[in-house]
């Protein structure tokens, strides 16, 4: 969706993102120990080979592509902070 001005976009963002930090109804609260353990298991991937590393983790070299009907696709693109590397 496109917006006529930044104010319209700002209003949209405020409405859409206003409930991001509100837990869903029926969500079972987790103990802090479980949250801490989960955070320790997260894997960060940086650098030129990040896409391949994630492919190894997911055991799927094509993990970043999703196929839809009518030959449509979506792709995950890992972006470098340094635009000269693109």
The per-residue pLDDT for range 38-85, each reduced to its tens digit, is: 888 887 777 788 888 888 988 998 888 988 988 888 988 777 665 554
pTM, two decimal places: 0.42
Q: Domain spans of the chain? A: 6-85
pLDDT for the residue numbered 34? 92
Contacts of residues 40-43 at CB distance under 8 Å and 24 or more positions apart, as own/partner, are none
Helix (H, G, I), strand (E, B) or coil at 5: coil
In sequence order, the β-bridge partners of residue 67 are 73
Cα-based distances in Å from 75 to 51, 62, 84: 12, 10, 21
């Amino acid at each position: 969706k496109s917006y006529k001005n930044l104010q319209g976009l700002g209003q949209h963002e405020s409405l859409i993102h206003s409930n991001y930090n509100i837990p869903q109804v029926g969500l079972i609260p987790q103990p802090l120990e479980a949250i801490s353990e989960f955070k320790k298991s997260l894997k960060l991937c940086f650098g030129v080979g990040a896409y391949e590393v994630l492919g190894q983790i997911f055991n799927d070299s094509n993990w970043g592509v999703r196929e839809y009907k009518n030959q449509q696709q979506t792709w995950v693109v890992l972006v470098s902070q340094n635009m000269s590397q693109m």
